[in-house]
Amino acid sequence: MAKQSKTRRKSSPKQAAKRDSKPASNQGRNKPAARLNLANLTTEALAAELTRRRSELPKLEKKASQLRAELASVLAQIASLGGAAGSVPDAAVPAAKRGKKPAAAGPGRRTLNGKPTIGEHIVEILGASGSVLSPREIGDALGKRLSREVNTSFLVQISLTLARLVKQGRVNKVGRGQYSAASGASVATND
């Protein structure tokens, strides 16, 4: 048997662009296709790639719709078992279905999903204490109020919120790691 030499035929630039614009075969379902270097493509090849990508859009939209329906079903099951279904992140819900944010719970009071934000809780805690508190002390009080574990991540969140509240003038920074309620800061009550 004689060995056959493998020679590659020259192809036209259009054929080369078409060959280069095809995605790599997806041998394993979970493996992403190789990234295409768009900078090296001709205008025709770019137009073909754009058309190909746009043709995938309806499939992706259909899949997103199915996943949203599945998520709604899972959240309903959680709620039926007495669990807190929680809210769906805004990124998971289309803007058209989000609607408007709920109105504030009281005058000047900010809420998130109808519940006071951590910033609102911090302002209330500082106002109720009437003294200077550290982020750790605020975290302990807030952890009890929210039934939440006080860990490093939570303390960082509190520190960042305190910094924002100081910039807004809603909290005073007395010294390093020492905060008090801003003068004139009112504590909302449910009278």
Each residue's pLDDT tens digit in the chain (191 positions)?
555 555 555 556 566 555 555 554 444 455 556 677 888 888 998 898 889 888 998 898 899 889 988 888 888 888 878 776 555 555 555 555 555 444 444 455 666 677 888 888 999 999 888 889 999 999 999 999 888 888 999 999 999 999 999 998 989 999 998 999 887 654 444 43
Secondary structure percentages of the chain, helix, strand, coil, to 5: 50, 5, 40
Residue 46: CB atoms within 10 A of its CB come to 15
Report how far residue 38's alpha carbon sits from residue 36's, in angstroms, rounded to the nearest whole number. 6
Check: pTM over 0.75? Answer yes or no. no
E-only strand ranges, the chain: 111-112, 115-116, 171-175, 178-181
Distance (Å, whole) CA 54 – CA 43: 16
